[in-house]
Structure 1
Amino acid sequence: MTTRPSYAAMAQHASFEHERLKLSDESIRLFQVQRGEKNEPLSLRMTQFSAHRRPKYKAVSYTWGTPQNPRQILVNGKAFALHVNLWHLLYHLRLENEVSFLWADALCINQFNLKERNFHVQLMGKIYEKAESVIVWLGIPSPDRVEVRAMDFVKEIAAYRKTHSDAMFINAYARADLQHRWQTLLRMCSPSDPGSYWNRTWVIQEFLFAQAVEVFAGRHKLEWEDFEDLLDLLRMQPVLASNAVISQILQSRTARLTLRRKAGSQSSLHELLQEYSDSACTERRDKVYGILGLASDCIEDSETGQTTGIHPDYETHIVNVYLEALDCIQASLPSNTVTPAAALLILRSLHIRHDDLSDFIMKAMLTNAIDFVSAHRLTITPEYVSPVIKSWLWTSVRDLQQKLEAEDWGQYIGYQIQKVRSSSLTPARDRVRRLSSNTKVIHASLPSDFVRNMTEAANLCGDLSLLHNYPCNHNLQMPTDHIPLHAQDKATYDNPNLRKPSVVLEQDPQSEVLRLGYACTNTQRGDFIVQFRGLDTALIVRQIWHECKLVGKAMMVKHADLQYEEAIDPICDASVWSSHCWRQHNPDSVHFDTDALSLAELMMKT
């Protein structure tokens, strides 16, 4: 009988190396945990199986955790270093005498082989969908055992409901003295640690594709059907759903993932990024790659077997992932146009910085691939277009306040009949200046926070330094070599003395409400403020005969009389800035041509 090695003897074993995987027949590796005594090293047996010879297996969904202090195990008799979180799961499965074939990415994928990693990313949805069940590993229970207490609470409710009616359940569990138990369940469903299971990007796809789910915290197990049944009951009972803690449970990521899994619904890549923009991952590309299997516009064609949209590649530049995602979203829209908010959502999801854009453009220039950069043309349509009716300069906050307080606002608001000259842009096919005159009765007063918010913005907001003047080739397309410039060089473009941004006044063509804001120093009366839904950044555009020219950036300031929606998109900032156009107004359906990198430069705060 062969004696198993001790931990002390592990160092003498050769390191495990994955055998070459047969990618042509969608082969995957599966392993089994070998039986052993409590103090013996973990030993696994790993085998490669083709798609048509694959046995029943369970897939493991977990978080990798930190790479510090890995545990040594044996795989096919050879030493392998494993992250401690997965080691704990396999150790507990051995204690439970789990004999199923298992799949776990850290073991079954050769992480040093990029070709194999790319292959598995495309196959990941199938791996979890074909699994007999998915083992969700929450890790070792926390010191206060909140996961165990929450799981026991769910199991207790499931057992109670087998012999009692819904009305009896409400009487028994909606009591005020049980509020702390619901609070415990909420803590499990909405963990504060960004590295915890429910907050990670990859688990979204793994959890949603599962045929059945077994949740483990240490040796404690919960059949997830019990939690699903509880959610159904809570949603159907208004007296329960109205409870503040229970309402938060229903809105938690865990509940939303569970309900989506039951519904089996697919969404577009854009919708998925909006839903899970706050999920966490170590590899930035995984923010897109980790949800591709769920995206209805990036799915495999059942007839050809070809995958449309994005093809995962961990060697590609992070900016290229942005371009591919933008192309995918644009192709799925009926009008083939893309919103700047969608572009910014991708940029923020991928955590793309100005350094990434600069590096991408410089490499493109060195390899003569600049045509590829400019090839990503886009058409964008603003929700709001309105002319600047006044623009003036200021030197200090005190100077600004004095000028605003001394301004004769009566010429714009108050009880009087005023001559209004409105200027608008005509459609792109026939852009000429069109002026019209009419009379209008104004019935408004100056909002109490109108001037105060402007001075507060000048005092507190560092974003003012980002309202640069921009060179422009055509419409909203910038010269490619301008984007990589340092922020200081951008600040001095057409503004060598670093003057403070202009104050601009604007009045909605259909309303008496005024707005103030800050804009690039080159702004003039008659320029147009262009805004897009969901963004706090506005653009200044100038019409010169039949052409439009980008002048620079602007930001409009909120005040009490403005009508706007809060948090309409996860990328909106809660600040003094007007988060989107407060009243949609683009009667001539003005649209602009740009490219993906110019749009990134305009939307990012750089």
Structure 2
Amino acid sequence: MNLPRYKYMPLNASDEIRVFELSPTKTRIEIRILHVPASARCFDALSYVWGSPAQSEKATVLDKLGRPTGWIPLTRNLSNAMADLRDAEQLKTNVFWIDQVCINQRDEEEKNDQVAMMNQIYTQSRRVITYLGPAELEVKENGGIRLLDTVCKTVPEGTWQQMHESGSLQQIQDQVFDGSIKFKRLPSNLELRVDRSYYESEISERYAEQGWEWLVRVAYGEWTQRLWIVQEQLLNKEIITLRGHRLIDWDAITAIPILFAISHLPQEYRDMGRRNLEGKVPWDEVEKTMYGIRWDRHARLVTETSYTWSSLFHNLQWYQSLLCGDARDRVYAILAISKDAKRLDLKPDYSPLNTADMLSRKLSIRVLENARNLELISFAFSWRPPNSTLPSWCFTLDRPANLTTPDLLPLEVYTPHPKQHGFHLARFHTNDSILVVKGRILDYVSTPNPSAGWPHVGDVRQTSPVDIISSLGYLLHDGFSIEDVVSLLCTITARAPWSPPPGILGRIDETMAFHFWTYLRHKSHLLAKCVETSSTTIKELLLRCHHIMTRIQALTPGFTYSEPERNEDVAKEEYLACQRVLRYALEKGRCLGRTRAGRFCNAMCPIQEGDAIVALQGADQLFTMRLVGHTYRLIGDIFVDGLMHGEAYKNQDPDNIDYDIELA
């Protein structure tokens, strides 16, 4: 019998939703659709990945008497999920809410209304089931589950609480590094010993046979890269994962990316997975996302009703790397977990008239009008496509998939302007196309060497090791002092206010000079690997690096330095010093240089000689901007050693010396 496409009955009440009963029929997916209030708590909600948008599968809809009345198209991944939900013996329910089935995807108005109800739907469901994909061979599934259980047992009771209190993966790494956070060791047969080398074939064999391949594939699967999954994981206190028709503890599977991120698990397996698995989201972003979701869930469960969500813009920043099919979903997918969504008056609107650029502009204006700081403009330029027609202060939602996002200065770390917060910091004119803020130009960009120019190679958002080492070579002129070395190290490690651990080696300036020496040695070693086939310029750079390292040794005679040529054998203190610098180095998409006043700076590319360096009221960063006509265009953030802690405003009232700056 040829069935027609199912015709949805309209939803009548404002809080009404559709759910469906899943039939036990094995030969095909059969469902019966029901209308219920969202508050009925009679259903489980599914969190899953649509996968390929092609809807090649079908669900047959039955009437009250069990007769087929029509069909609903399904993506292949949802068809697999519904079959596994049907066959999961551990599930004691057969009533579900799934967006692809329960929302009439052809009705734009209904879709807007139902997306606006996501908070209610996921919060009021009995629990959320996260689908991790169909099962593989039973032997692989069982091996992966055993490994997952073994790994989770290496995290002592109370350690997750320490990791929550750390507040970031970087802080956890630091605490693991200094021994504040400890783990149990993996069983010896699962470890990769640090005192021996392994052939690639041996690692590959262990990767497959011990279950690492399964664990990495599941824990870093497509579900971890999807933006909609964030609120779906956060809104309900009860959550479980489904792999094939087997239920798996949510906390266990989300622990894996975090444990890889902090190097508790062998990095060789993580590297092998990155080479073998396709994915558009960098794995460090997946790890950050999983930690963020776990942190929010833990905070919410512990504080109960007193927990407050983050702002919409904070969520935009934190989850900016995740994927969504419609650029507007960058906002709509996080409205339910944003405390200021109502105040900003942003509601789902999928009409053709509400383009991604229109939503970007509306969002940026409303955030800036309501904000007590200028955090938004710190990110406005980080996603900007080269051909964007939006104002430079406007946050861009429609980000190209291949856009390389540069490293940015951290928020809430520096205080270049004494007015960090306030009301009505921003105002607009000329049909909201010009942003007016108060601030002051402090300095201007200058190139380190006119013949060298800024180290741009190919994509201006990319920075190669040659670019960095070339900048270092030109910035330290002959006769440089130890103060120059310390200042340049602070400029390189602009990711946070960095200083070496106390009590090692010697005076603070000598210790920092040693750290810079190890960093420069590391960079030159990378460059030396290709010296035989490289140009004369690279060979000259290596000679320049050798000269700088020799000079640093002369400035710190009390230190014992290894020979720069013996790069294979690095002393422990040298290795640790270099790792400390690399953890805080700000390099990707960045330029090192000097200002006209002679200060070292670390700026986001692309900048030009003559770009203004400005401090703004309500901003915890300095910015570069370029005069275009009668207004300025924002270029990026910039670290300037000697100006990051309010030095330019010492003993001065900013209200007396700041002035209006117009940004287009």
User: TM bucket by the smaller chain?
Assistant: 0.5 to 0.7
- Summarize the Cα distance change of 1:171–1:267 in structure 2 as closer, same or farther, 3 Å threshold: closer
1:176 matches 2:188 = yes
Check the 8 A contact 2:447/2:453 in 1, yes or no.
Answer: no
State the Cα distance separating 1:58 from its structure 2 match.
0.3
State the Cα distance separating 1:518 from its structure 2 match.
10
Provide the residue aligned with 1:292 in structure 2.
335
- Summarize the Cα distance change of 1:512–1:538 in structure 2 as closer, same or farther, 3 Å threshold: closer
- Write the deviation string for residues 404-441 of structure 1: whole angstroms up to 9, x where unpaired: 9xx9x9999999xxxxxxxxxxxxxxxxxxxxxxxxxx
- Write the deviation string for residues 169-202 of structure 1: whole angstroms up to 9, x where unpaired: x9986223224669558615752x6xx0011000
d(CA) in 2 for partners of 1:261, 1:208:
6
Match of 2:117, SS state, is helix
1:93 matches 2:85 = yes
Provide the residue aligned with 2:349 in structure 1.
313
1:134 maps to a residue whose letter is V
- Write the deviation string for residues 466-522 of structure 1: whole angstroms up to 9, x where unpaired: xxxxxxxxxxxxxxxxxxxxxxxxxxxxxxxxxxxxxx995464x66589999999x
Check the 8 A contact 1:329/1:338 in 2, yes or no.
Answer: no
Provide the residue aligned with 1:432 in structure 2.
none
1:259 matches 2:274 = no
Provide the residue aligned with 2:216 in structure 1.
187
Provide the residue aligned with 1:198 in structure 2.
224
d(CA) in 2 for partners of 1:212, 1:283:
28
Provide the residue aligned with 2:75 in structure 1.
83
- Summarize the Cα distance change of 1:272–1:554 in structure 2 as closer, same or farther, 3 Å threshold: closer
- Write the deviation string for residues 130-152 of structure 1: whole angstroms up to 9, x where unpaired: 11111111111357987764444
Structure 2 stretches of 5 or more lacking a match? Answer: 63-68, 160-181, 192-206, 271-283, 301-306, 395-427, 455-470, 483-516, 522-526, 528-536, 539-591
- Summarize the Cα distance change of 1:396–1:215 in structure 2 as closer, same or farther, 3 Å threshold: closer
Provide the residue aligned with 1:140 in structure 2.
134
Output the TM-score relative to the length of structure 1: 0.57
Provide the residue aligned with 1:47 in structure 2.
34
Match runs of 1:101-500 below 5 Å:
101-141=95-135, 149-155=143-149, 174-179=186-191, 183=212, 187-188=216-217, 190-191=219-220, 196-224=222-250, 243-245=264-266, 251=287, 253-264=289-300, 266-299=309-342, 308-315=344-351, 316-335=354-373, 337-344=374-381, 354=388, 374-375=431-432, 377-380=434-437, 385-387=442-444
- Summarize the Cα distance change of 1:331–1:551 in structure 2 as closer, same or farther, 3 Å threshold: closer
Check the 8 A contact 1:138/1:215 in 2, yes or no.
Answer: yes
- Summarize the Cα distance change of 1:104–1:552 in structure 2 as closer, same or farther, 3 Å threshold: closer
d(CA) in 2 for partners of 1:391, 1:552:
23
Provide the residue aligned with 1:14 in structure 2.
4
Match of 2:324, SS state, is coil
Select the structure of larger CA radius of gyration.
1
Check the 8 A contact 1:387/1:528 in 2, yes or no.
Answer: yes
Provide the residue aligned with 1:35 in structure 2.
24
State the Cα distance separating 1:329 from its structure 2 match.
2.9
- Summarize the Cα distance change of 1:584–1:322 in structure 2 as closer, same or farther, 3 Å threshold: farther
State the Cα distance separating 1:584 from its structure 2 match.
2.9
- Summarize the Cα distance change of 1:272–1:551 in structure 2 as closer, same or farther, 3 Å threshold: closer
1:297 maps to a residue whose letter is D
Provide the residue aligned with 2:625 in structure 1.
539
Match of 1:178, SS state, is coil
Structure 1 stretches of 5 or more lacking a match? Answer: 1-8, 300-306, 361-370, 398-403, 416-446, 457-503, 543-547, 556-571, 573-578, 599-606
- Write the deviation string for residues 536-586 of structure 1: whole angstroms up to 9, x where unpaired: 9832459xxxxx94477879xxxxxxxxxxxxxxxx8xxxxxx64454367
- Summarize the Cα distance change of 1:414–1:145 in structure 2 as closer, same or farther, 3 Å threshold: same
d(CA) in 2 for partners of 1:373, 1:147:
61
d(CA) in 1 for partners of 2:356, 2:604:
34
Match runs of 1:516-555 below 5 Å:
528-530=612-614, 538-541=624-627, 549-550=630-631
- Summarize the Cα distance change of 1:144–1:520 in structure 2 as closer, same or farther, 3 Å threshold: same
- Summarize the Cα distance change of 1:550–1:376 in structure 2 as closer, same or farther, 3 Å threshold: closer
Check the 8 A contact 1:74/1:80 in 2, yes or no.
Answer: yes
State the Cα distance separating 1:112 from its structure 2 match.
1.4
Cα RMSD (Å) of the superposition? Answer: 5.3
d(CA) in 2 for partners of 1:268, 1:99:
35
Say how many residue pairs are matched.
426
State the Cα distance separating 1:286 from its structure 2 match.
0.8
Check the 8 A contact 1:58/1:131 in 2, yes or no.
Answer: yes
Check the 8 A contact 1:534/1:580 in 2, yes or no.
Answer: no
Output the TM-score relative to the length of structure 2: 0.52
State the Cα distance separating 1:31 from its structure 2 match.
0.3
State the Cα distance separating 1:393 from its structure 2 match.
8.7
d(CA) in 1 for partners of 2:605, 2:291:
42
d(CA) in 2 for partners of 1:87, 1:46:
16
State the Cα distance separating 1:78 from its structure 2 match.
0.9
Provide the residue aligned with 1:485 in structure 2.
none
Check the 8 A contact 1:386/1:528 in 2, yes or no.
Answer: yes
Pick the aligned partner of 2:643 from 580, 584, 590.
584
Determine what percentage of the aligned residue pairs are the same residue: 17
